[in-house]
Structure 1
Amino acid sequence: MTSTVRTGGAQAPSAPEFPMPRAEGCPFDPPPALKKEQEQGPLRKVRLWDGTTPWLVTRYADQRALLADPRTSADITRPGYPSSAPVRGSSFSFILMDDPEHARQRRMVTAPFTIKRVEAMRPAVQKIVDGLIDDMLAGPPRADLVQAFALPVPSLVICELLGVPYADHDFFQENSKILISRSAAPEERGAAHAKLIGYLDELMGHKIARPADDLLSGLGTRVGAGELSRQEAAEMGVLLLIAGHETTANMIALGTLALLEHPDQLALLRDSDDPKAVAGAVEELLRYLNITHGGRRRVAVEDIEIGGEVIRAGEGIIVPNDIGNRDPEVFADPDRLDLGRDARRHVAFGFGVHQCLGQPLARMELQVVYSTLYRRIPTLRLDAGLEDLSFKHDGAVYGVYELPVAW
């Protein structure tokens, strides 16, 4: 859908609405209109919910260049920032800040996500995965893979890492679902955010009084030292809790669905005992699926010449990683799922100083899941038609609400 918009009293050219709908029957591919924009040029104007017309960056090379450019800002409070919804409140997590404050806060939570620390967690994650599969196999030969497996795996892991009681998972999963939903009213999202902040703030109080060996206790120590406020620590806790389970859970379920729809690729993964092949398969699935499908958002703080255009200071920028990862200049036959390709250059985790903090943990969890689930349940199959599944078109994180499987 296109519309004529007015900027500063002057009529501007029509711009397509963003985000754009996916095609019926093609749940793994970016929206056709998005692919068309990529074919027509590296930078295009799009129209958001509030009538603003930021730049859409369609090519992989330009996306990486802009995400690494210090002349772009991730500060959601800056005029011109292309927000995906009305901005509420005055306190935000560090991913919506610029350096040096972004770097200062990020450093406080970096240590648990280093490759060395994450690899030390692999046996524990393997135990969680095997235990959930044991539970599935002990029951009826069918299940909703989302509730039985995809959601519990990362939720158990991030709860252990943060020091959040897993017994509270229904509460934080329900409120995080509202918080990342584009269809929820601003008041609903605000209420869900307030509940999560209150929950993490109360938990932070317990950690400050009785610290343990977990990430929230570490943040509590920072609060005691005056390096963070309780509000800032709670905001960081909410970010890590939501990002730690929502993204990986949806990737497990959607990745499984994609593999079930591509049995030749599933066979390659199921029959391989090569850790490098499994790691490569994870990278290709991350490139192919792109569950964070709303694009990285930035605003120019200086004029930037790129892609034959000039992005003026104060203009918004949207970097949709799903179309960047389907750029034919970088990935041959990009619409084909090919677990044998080298997909390590993908931008599923972003790029630059704001790239995903938890990517080593997500990679490790997915490697354990994808190397275990299909080997232990080799007859796993979809227990519904693809057309019967409900996809998360309305959320900031893409996936399926339910995934009926049988074996």
Structure 2
Amino acid sequence: MHKYISLLGFMRQIFDDDRTARKAAEIGEAMLAARSLWLSEVAAKMHGSGAASYKRIQRFLRQVDPRAMLWRLFCEQAEYVIGDPTEIERPQARKTDYVGILKDGKIRGFWMLLLATPYRGRAIPCGLLTYSSKTIAAELSSRNRNHVRALSELKDLVGERPLVLDREFSYLELLLDLVEEGVNFVIRLNLGSHPPRFWDAEGRDVVLALSPGETVIHPGVWYKGKVCVNLIGIWKKGLAEPLWVMSNLEPERAGQIYLVRMKIEQTFRDLKGLLGLTRLMNKQQEKMEKMLAMLLLVYAIALLIGENLRDHLYGLPIQPQERVAVIPPKTGQKWRRYSGLFILLKQKWWLPPREWQAIVKDALASFVAILHPSVLTHV
């Protein structure tokens, strides 16, 4: 079983000098082994004594900013860019400056806003921002301003690609900012206790109603009377509620993009369940964000390797146009049931060294293709 993954070749593509790349590879490999962000647990998986390894991690975080390196993973060939926040609980962090109270009003924690491009039902991270009720209050800021601050870093990179955002982003201030900057968007509506109002060209209220199995389109309606958008409502059979999406794209295309984006929420489950995203104890927000960025770099590498491993073990995914008779024998439900990262880290498997080396080599080629978009990749 070849569970050891050398990250040096990948880190050499990201970091500018070999010495820094070697340090990053050592820390990244220890993160994969520990599946944790606790510095002491990561240090325990490194070479040498735990105390010496702990100090090496601290020096690395002082000298290097992995957050800047993470932006290099923005994929130029991506059809769209995803922004999605997730809660990270820190119930015992009573005296940590960046930890506030989450939405339920009880549990301590903070939010990480992840920016990413799609990859085979998951996402390749390219940026992050963290904030909490405490940091918002200290900065006299708001959650909305933090969203705008994070997305502003993407504006020059995005071009004509749409930003695909979840319900937390369906508010007027952000929408006005996106329109002013000329950014395309696909945003799911928040239909909570105070659903947004829309008016048609004649000033009549648009009723957001549809039945299970139905699709409804409202082109050219006005969001809160100030921004003209296209609306599409989709209620797939088997879902408990309909999905409403607003966009400045053609409504059919916006609906298709968002339905594909919904599958990428598994990325957060992989990060939390397989790589220990919630297991971090940094006292300083800057160091915490650097450790998160390192984990996201490691996740991107492991994801590419794991997807190649999944294809090798279980065959390629079933294509809708293929007949069952022509599907290779090992292609089928197992490919769909497990993520590549789960297979890589959790399943028992064995490969001859030559086959394993070929899988890692192909993953490195995909990684280089993301960093250098002149090389085609299958995103």
Using the size of structure 1 for normalisation, the TM-score is 0.27
More helix by share: 1
More strand by share: 2
Higher RCO (Cα < 8 Å, 6 or more apart): 1
Using the size of structure 2 for normalisation, the TM-score is 0.28
